[in-house]
A and B are shown apart, each in its own frame.
Chain A
C-alpha cells in the first residue's frame, strides 16, 4: 500500500509529477490550477529529485519549453486552464508534428473567452478534434478523481514516450480543487542523462560521436514528403486507437439506457444511476477514460445489443455527443444533457433529463 494523503486534485497532479520522475515542469499561473506550480515550488523538487521547475512568461513560452526539453528526450510537463491551453495550441501542433513526447494538463474552466473560474467540460472539441492546425491527435485522458489526477501522470508519460505523442490530461476545476484521499505511487527515479541518450536515439541532446546529427522539425517543403510524414502519423494514431483506448462500465449488464460521461460528470452520473435504479429505471454508465482514442467499441456493442438510448452528460452545450452519434449512426436515440459555463449539474437534474429526453420522449 502506497502512502495515503488527503490532497487537492491539483496537488496530487504536482506530487505525481515529482514521483513520476519528471525532469522539467514549465508553467504559468491561472485559476483554477495555480496550485500545481505553487505545490511544485514549495516542494523544492530540485532537491527531492533534481527536477527543474520554471515559471515561464506565458503559456506560449511554457509549451515551447516543452518542445525544447521534450525534444532532448527529457520528461517534461506543463499544466494550465482553458484560456491558457488555447494559447498552447500552436505549440501542441508543432509538438505533434515533430513527434515530441510531453504531458499537458488542462484543469478546464467555463468559457468561451475569459469565461469564469468554475468547472466546465467545454474544451472537449479543442482536446480531441485538434485545437491547433493540421491533421494531428493527442492522447487525451480524463481523470474522474483526485486519485486519478495522480495515477494518470505516469500513464500519460508512458503513452507519450511509447508513441512519441503529446499527452493531454483533461480534468476540470472540480477535480482540481476538491480534496480526496489519494494513495500515492512509489517514486519512479528520473532517468540519468546517459539513460536518456541510450533510450531515445531520436532526441537532440548533442550529436553522438561518429553518428549522424538529429533534427526535430515539423517542416518539410516537399508536399509528397509531408504527405508521407502525415501517413506515418496516421498509422501511429491507428495503433494508439487499437492499443490505448480506455473506458469503464458501471451497472451496464442489464441496462436499457446508457449514460455516457467522463471526469466530474461521470462521478455525478454514478449518483444519478443509483437514483434511477431506485425508480426501477435500468440505466448504466459508460465512463470514458480516454477521450482520444474515443471508446467506440462499447458503444457499438450497446447498439448491437439493442440498447434503447444514450444520454451524454457533459458540462458543455453538447460536444462529446457528436462522437457518440458517429458510432451510433442513427441506430439508437442519442440525447445530451449538461449545465455549462461553470455550472455543475446535480444528479437529480441528470435523472430528470434521462426521463424526459429518453424514456418519456
Chain B
C-alpha cells in the first residue's frame, strides 16, 4: 500500500471543519483549558452561519475577556466594567435592524454591572447577552466573585467563602429569568464535545430570536472553568466544575419563548 502523505489529505473535498473567518488569527490570551476561547468561537460561528457578519456589533467587557474584540472579527466596542448591557441597549435602539450582543464575565455582569443587567433584561432589550460564569475573578488573579460557591477558596476568601461573613453566591440567570423582559434564558457549558454542541444550539436560538425580532433579551450563561484561578490542572478543573459548579448552577434551558420551563 502506498504511503499516504499529508498532501493527499489536505484537499478541499476532504474538508469537514475549519476555523470560522469571524475569529481573527490572533493568539488567544486565555489560559490553556479555559472555556472563553470556545465560547468566542461558538458565537462567531453562529453569526457567520446566520450570515450576519456585516450586521453585527459586539460589546466586550472588562475582565479576562476584555480583549474579546481582538479575537472576534466583527465591529466591536469595549465597554466600561459592568456597563455592556447599557452600551448594547443604545446600539440596538439606534440600529434596530442590526444584531447586537454583549459578552461578560461574572464579576462584570453579576457584581458591578448588576443594575445594568437587571434593567436591560427588564426593559426587554432585543439583544443577546452572553454570561461566562467561572465563579471567580480570573483577570485580577482569582479573587471571590458574586458567583463563588460556598466554602470555595479564592484570593479574597483564602479559607473558603464563609456565607455568614461574605454572603451567598448569586444565581443571576435564574433571577433574570423571572423578569418579563427576558425571552430566552439558558445555562450551558463548553467543556465536552456534547456540551459544546448544546451550547452552540442555545447561542443559535438566542441570535435567531433577535433576528426574528422576538421581544426581549436572549440570555445565555456558560458555566466555565478557571483552572488558573481555581489552581487546578485543566482536566481536574473540568471534573471539579462538573462535581461542584453544575449541582449549584444547573445546566439547561430556564425560559424558552418567554415561558419559564418547569425544571
Is the CB–CB distance between A204 and B57 below 8 Å?
yes
Chain A count of residues within 8 A CB distance of the other chain: 39
**Chain A residue, CB-CB nearest to B118:** A57
Is the CB–CB distance between B78 and A216 below 8 Å?
yes
**Chain A residue, CB-CB nearest to B53:** A207
In the bound complex, CA of A215 to CA of B77 (Å): 6
Q: Would you give the 0/1 interface string for A33-62, flagging 1 where the beta carbon is closer than 8 Å to chain B?
A: 000000000000000000010101110111
Is the CB–CB distance between B75 and A217 below 8 Å?
no
- The residues of A that contact B78 with a CB separation of less than 8 Å are 98, 215-219
Is the CB–CB distance between B115 and A207 below 8 Å?
no
Interface SS of chain B? helix
Also in contact, A193 and B95, with CB within 8 A (given A71-B77, A219-B78): yes
Tell me, yes or no, whether A206 is within 8 Å of chain B by CB.
yes
Is the CB–CB distance between B80 and A91 below 8 Å?
yes
Is the CB–CB distance between B86 and A213 below 8 Å?
no
- The residues of B that contact A57 with a CB separation of less than 8 Å are 115-116, 118-119
Is the CB–CB distance between B116 and A205 below 8 Å?
no
Name the contact of A64 in the complex, choosing from B76, B87, B94 (C-beta under 8 A): B87
In the bound complex, CA of A54 to CA of B85 (Å): 14
Is the CB–CB distance between B87 and A67 below 8 Å?
yes
Is the CB–CB distance between B94 and A69 below 8 Å?
yes
In the bound complex, CA of A332 to CA of B88 (Å): 52
**Chain A residue, CB-CB nearest to B92:** A68
Tell me, yes or no, whether B56 is within 8 Å of chain A by CB.
yes
Tell me, yes or no, whether A65 is within 8 Å of chain B by CB.
yes
- The residues of B that contact A58 with a CB separation of less than 8 Å are 115
- The residues of A that contact B66 with a CB separation of less than 8 Å are 219
- The residues of A that contact B98 with a CB separation of less than 8 Å are 205-206
Is the CB–CB distance between B87 and A60 below 8 Å?
no
Tell me, yes or no, whether A208 is within 8 Å of chain B by CB.
yes
- Shortest Cβ distance from A206 into chain B, in angstroms? 5
Is the CB–CB distance between B75 and A204 below 8 Å?
yes
Tell me, yes or no, whether A66 is within 8 Å of chain B by CB.
yes
Is the CB–CB distance between B90 and A66 below 8 Å?
yes
Tell me, yes or no, whether B83 is within 8 Å of chain A by CB.
yes
Is the CB–CB distance between A207 and B69 below 8 Å?
no
Name the contact of A214 in the complex, choosing from B75, B79, B93 (C-beta under 8 A): B75
In the bound complex, CA of A297 to CA of B78 (Å): 39
- Shortest Cβ distance from A305 into chain B, in angstroms? 47
B58-105 at interface with A (beta carbon < 8 Å)? 59-60, 66-67, 69, 73-80, 83, 86-91, 93-95, 98
**Chain B residue, CB-CB nearest to A221:** B67
**Chain B residue, CB-CB nearest to A52:** B93
- Shortest Cβ distance from B90 into chain A, in angstroms? 4
Name the contact of A61 in the complex, choosing from B67, B73, B83, B95 (C-beta under 8 A): B83
Residue with the highest number of chain B CB atoms closer than 10 Å, among A64, A66, A218: A64
- The residues of A that contact B74 with a CB separation of less than 8 Å are 206-207, 213
Is the CB–CB distance between B91 and A72 below 8 Å?
yes
Tell me, yes or no, whether A302 is within 8 Å of chain B by CB.
no
Is the CB–CB distance between B115 and A61 below 8 Å?
yes
Name the contact of B75 in the complex, choosing from A23, A52, A67, A205 (C-beta under 8 A): A205
- The residues of B that contact A116 with a CB separation of less than 8 Å are none
**Chain B residue, CB-CB nearest to A74:** B94
A contact set with B: CB distance below 8 Å: 23-24, 26, 52, 54, 56-58, 60-62, 64-69, 71-72, 74, 76, 90-91, 94, 98, 193, 204-209, 213-219
22 A-B residue contacts at CB 8 Å? A24-B93, A57-B115, A58-B115, A60-B83, A61-B83, A61-B89, A61-B115, A64-B80, A64-B86, A65-B87, A67-B77, A67-B83, A71-B91, A74-B94, A204-B77, A205-B57, A205-B98, A206-B75, A208-B54, A214-B76, A215-B78, A217-B78
Q: Shortest 5 CB-CB distances between A and B: which pairs?
A: A217-B78, A68-B87, A69-B90, A68-B90, A65-B90
B contact set with A: CB distance below 8 Å: 53-57, 59-60, 66-67, 69, 73-80, 83, 86-91, 93-95, 98, 115-116, 118-119
- For the complex with contacts A68-B87, A91-B80, 14 further pairs of A-B residues with Cβ separation under 8 Å are A24-B93, A54-B93, A57-B116, A57-B118, A58-B115, A64-B90, A91-B83, A94-B79, A193-B95, A204-B75, A206-B74, A206-B95, A215-B75, A219-B67
